Amino acid sequence: MTPLDELTTFAESLAEISGAVIRPWFRVSLDVTDKGTGRAGFDPVTEADREAESAIRRAIKARYPTHGILGEEHGHEHGTDPLTWILDPIDGTRAFICGMPQWGTLIALNDGTRPVLGIVDQPITHERWIGRSGRADFVSNGTTKRIKTRPCASLSSAIITTTHPTGYFTASEQAAFQRLAAEARMSRYGGDCYAYGLLAMGFIDLIVEAALKPWDVQALIPIIEGAGGIITSWDGGDCQNGGRVVAAGDARIHAEALSVLRHVH
Nearest residue to 86 via CA among 66, 104, 58, 67? 67
pLDDT at site 265: 85
> Each residue of 186-224: pLDDT tens digit?
999 999 999 999 999 999 999 999 999 999 999 999 999
pLDDT (mean) for 90-100:
93
Residue 216 sits at φ, ψ, to 5 deg, of -80, -25
Q: Is 210 left (phi over 0), alpha (psi -120 to 50) or beta?
A: beta
pLDDT class for 65, splitting at 50, 70, 90?
very high
How many CA within 13 A on the CB side of residue 208?
Answer: 31
pLDDT reading at 40 higher than 80: no
In angstroms, rounded to a whole number, what is the distance separating the alpha carbons of residues 135 and 199? 14
pLDDT at site 44: 67
pLDDT at site 86: 98
> Each residue of 109-128: pLDDT tens digit?
999 999 999 999 999 999 99
Say whether pTM exceeds 0.85.
yes
84 three-class SS? strand
pLDDT reading at 38 higher than 60: no
